[in-house]
Structure 1
Amino acid sequence: MDGKELQHQYEAGERNFSGLKLLEIELLQLDFSDADFSHADLRQARLGRTHFCRANFANSDLSESILWGSDLREANLTRAQLREVDLSGAILANATLANANLVKASLCGVNLSHANLSAACLLEVDLRPTADQRTDLGQANLSQADLSYGLLSGTILRGANLSGAKLCRAKLGRDYRPGGFPTDLAEANLQGADLSYADLSGVNLKAADLRGADLTGTLLHQANLHQALMPDGLPHE
């Protein structure tokens, strides 16, 4: 099935595209809100600037697909394969990506505020800001997620749940490019997180909870630790 036929079916009222093989399909600047693509094969698809609000991509394969600028608010991407996907500038606020595979994904400038990424694999993910937009994971659920070796400089993670998350050797240090911002982890839950050998230089950790976190070899130069709860259980003054 090609993009035109899929669009025609959607416009005729069809919403169930579950399990279809849609390899390399092109759906640009269209509206597929509320569509069901669960278990579909969408590898290497070109889906830029398309509306997928509340769409169901559970267990689908979107590996190496392009979704830059697309609207995936409240979409279900549970256990989706998103390896090396380009989601730069996409909107995924309140989306569900629990147990999703986002290895080496590009999430630059994406809005993932209040999203559920619990137990997601984000190895070597790129969450740095674009030229005009910061990546927003404020209040997101990243408990037990793996962000090891990730690039998170300048990312907003204020109030995020990172309990038990892996951030081994992740780079969260301040974005020193012109107009760059410090990574914001204020009030974040980092209880039991693995921050070993991570770079948190200049990061805002005000009132963050770091109890039980592994800070072996962690760089905290010029980090804001005011009112943070440190691994010894005592508030940092």
Structure 2
Amino acid sequence: MDADELLKRYAAGERNFYEANLIGASLSEAFLSHICLVCANLKDVNLASADLSWANLIGANLDSACLLLADLNGADLSSANLTRAKLTGADLIQAKLENANLGDTKMIGVNLTGAKLYMANLMEANLIEACLDEADLEKTNLSEVKLRGASLRKANLRGAFLCESNLQGADLREADLRGANLSGAFLCGANLEGAKLEGAILSGAIQFCIRQV
């Protein structure tokens, strides 16, 4: 299936494109709200500025996809592969990203307010100045993630022993963590210089080797 066929069938009212193969397709600025692309192969697809609000992308392969400024509000990306994807400026308000692989993604300024990221992999992702207010990041892998200047107010970063939120080596300089729940989080090596921690819950967090000013 190519981009033109997808758009033609979508315009005709079809919404279910389960396991569609669209490797490298160009769908920038396309209107695809509520589309179903479960387990679709979307590697290297250009979806910049596309409307994918409330789309079903469970298990989809979005490796290296371009999603710059895309509208993914309410989208279900559970277990999706977004490795090396470009998501800078995208809206992911209340998106579902449980168990998703977001390793090494570019997500500068992305809006993840209220997003569900339970047990997602965000290792080495770039989330500078992103908004993760009230997001669920429980047991999420945030090792070496860049969160400088990000807002994580009232975010859930809880983690129990051996399955804790992993913030080892994370850059949290000037991040807003007011009211965030960091109980049981593993913070060894994290850089919290200038971070706002008023009202944050740190009980049981492993905090040795934290750099904080």
Superposed, 1:1-237 pairs within 5 Å as 16-17=1-2, 20=3, 27=10, 30-129=15-114, 135-173=115-153, 182-187=154-159, 188-232=165-209
How far 1:232 moved relative to its partner? 2.1
Alpha-carbon separation, structure 2, partners of 1:107 and 1:29: 24
Q: Deviations over 1:186-232 (max 9, x none)?
A: 11110000000000011000100110111111111111101101142
Aligned residue identity for 2:137: L
Greater gyration radius: 1
C-alpha spacing 1:32/1:222, structure 2 compared with 1 (3 Å): same
The verdict on how the C-alpha distance between 1:22 and 1:151 changes in structure 2, with shifts beyond 3 A counting, is farther
Count of residues paired in the alignment:
203
Q: Is the 8 A contact 1:21 1:41 kept in 2?
A: no
Q: TM-score, normalised by structure 2?
A: 0.91
Within 1, Cα distance between the matches of 2:207 and 2:150? 19
Q: Give the structure-1-normalised TM-score.
A: 0.82
User: Over aligned residues, Cα RMSD in angstroms?
Assistant: 1.7
Give unmatched runs, 5+ long, in structure 1. Answer: 1-15, 130-134, 174-181
Q: What runs of 5+ residues in structure 2 fail to find an aligned partner?
A: 160-164
Summarize deviations over 1:137-172 as a string: whole Å, max 9, x none. 010000000111001100000000000000000011
Cα 1:209/1:149, change in 2 over 3 Å: same
